[in-house]
Amino acid sequence: MFIAGKVQGVYFRQNTRIVANRHKVTGWVQNLRDGRVEAVLEGNEMDVSEVIEWFYAGPPKAIVDDVQIKYEVYIGEFQGFKVNY
């Protein structure tokens, strides 16, 4: 998924990892050169939905303009949640 707005330089990735870990969601998050944040999430539907819901607000200094979601089949690819740099 892609999150657009003022989402870089506001600890969005670090807070995403905290929220994902709280909900036992695995995957990764990274900044993109175009200013958006990209995230891949895996977990049960309710837990992933909680993280997605958080994306619409983000951390306190973020201003989220858009969240684009693409669902795929869960395959258990990830062991934890990491921030890509």
CATH code (residue 77): 3.30.70.100
CB atoms near residue 62 (< 10 Å): 20
Q: Is the pTM of this model over 0.85?
A: yes
Domain around 58? 2-84
H helix runs in the chain, sequence order:
12-22, 45-55
Give per-residue pLDDT as tens, 13-52: 999 999 999 999 999 999 999 999 999 999 999 999 999 9
* pLDDT of res. 11: 98
Total tally of structural domains belonging to the chain: 1
Q: Mark whether 31 is an active-site residue.
A: yes
Are 28 and 84 spatial neighbours (Cβ–Cβ below 8 Å)? Answer: yes
The 3-state DSSP class for residue 81 equals strand
How large is the average pLDDT for residues 3-7?
99
Tally of CA atoms within 13 A in the half-sphere of 25 that contains its CB: 24
Name the active-site residue from 17, 31, 33, 44: 31
Q: Mark whether 15 is an active-site residue.
A: no
Tokens at 52, concatenated: 């997605």
Confidence of residue 74 (pLDDT cuts 50, 70, 90): confident
